[in-house]
Every structure is written in structure tokens, then in C-alpha cells.
Structure 1
């Protein structure tokens, strides 16, 4: 499963907490970002403290992936929040969005590399079995 670093989660807590104080705020911002019918919304535990909610929400949004090509669900939420903050926080959000995209891209590149290695290994094994079977037939 894709992940973001603990450092990013800590920064997200600082930025998102004022906007995730209660269930109504949480739902409103997430529906604005993802749409009212997004399947990830049904997987969230809406109650509890802001810190607990944000942490589990981040994990669910990262696991959910992108809402459109190149736009992770977590970044979509940050873009909506960005409209309701001052310039200093907007700069922090812009930086955070880039770092999240970089981390996720790195994760998926590593996953693809591992899949590629696995496919090559499987192909080599199939080739060796073919050679072995053909030698036995001689």
C-alpha cells in the first residue's frame, strides 16, 4: 500500500486540524474535494479527535489513489483547503502537495520496478524449465 512519511503526516495535522474539528466540517471539505459519491467517503470513521481522524483519513486517501490522472485524492483535499487560508499557508500547502506527489511517485516507481524484476525472474524460470524439458527429451 502506498504511504506518505510521518513528517508529511505531522505537517498535514498542523494544516488540516482547524478544518477538521467536527464531523460536518470533515464531510464538507472532503465532499468538495472528492465529490459526494466518492467511495472512499464510506470508508472513513467520521467521529473522534481531529488528530485521529486526520491520520486515518490520510491513510485512506493515499490508499484510494488518484481522483483524476496525476491528482491524488489527498492533494485534491489540500487544494480545497488552500482556498480558505492566507498566502503563507498557501505556500506551505503548495510545497506539501509537491512533496506528497513526489513520495507517491517514488513509491509507485519502486513498485513497478519490483513487478518488472518479478516478471523477468518468472520468464527466466520458464526458459530454464523449457531447456531442462528439452534436454530430457534428447
Structure 2
């Protein structure tokens, strides 16, 4: 009963403010204020206010919200701990290679060497001169490979 009275008073005050705003010839703002002012009365008439006020004043509902908050806090705490432990380096144990397996070499030891001719067909036979203009031959080969 109290919630319905408060909603009706808020709507009446909002409609009064809308009337003053319309008197000042700000009709667009007055229409918007009137629309907002009608919302509380509409909620009272649809029964939403009675449902919410019945829910708000029950202790079991507040206990439920408290448990939801506790579950959320526990979830966030576990996520924070998980992220913190993933960022730390592992304990200094013996490396995997020292556990009885022989250490393997690099997968591609010549990976740092440029491989311009790999898969690009026959390489043009051109003598490399020591001139500074020859410095761009690698770039030219890449551009030709991609058809640019």
C-alpha cells in the first residue's frame, strides 16, 4: 500500500514538472518528462510494484541474495588465485631432458637462414655483384614471388 502511494506521488510530481517545462515552451523535454512520470503508475497498475515490495520485505529473499553474493565472491577469489599461480614460474626441478631422455637438437637449425628459393621455382642465374644496389635483391625476390 505504501509503495503504491509513493509511486503515485512520484508520477504526480513528474507530471507537474512536465507541465512547468511545457509552459516554458520546451515541448520535447516536457513530453519526455511526462513519459518518465507515467512509468511508476504503469508499474503499480500492472502489479509489478506489489510483487517487488512483497519480495523485498521477505528475509528469505535477502538470504538468497546474500548467498548469491557469496558464491560470486568465491568464484572471483578462485579466479584470482588461479591467475596468480599461472603467472608464477614452475618450481625449479630438473629439466625434462635430464629425466633419462636424450636432449634433442633444434627442430630447424637453419631456420634463421633466408630461404628465398624454396618453392619458388628455378632461381634466376645472375651473378651477385658487391655493389650496394644488390642489397635489395632479397626484397625483389620476395615481391616477385608474390606477384607484386
TM-score (norm 2): 0.27
For normalisation by structure 1, the TM-score amounts to 0.29
Greater relative contact order (CA < 8 Å, ≥ 6 in sequence): 1
Going by fraction, where is helix more abundant, 1 or 2? 1
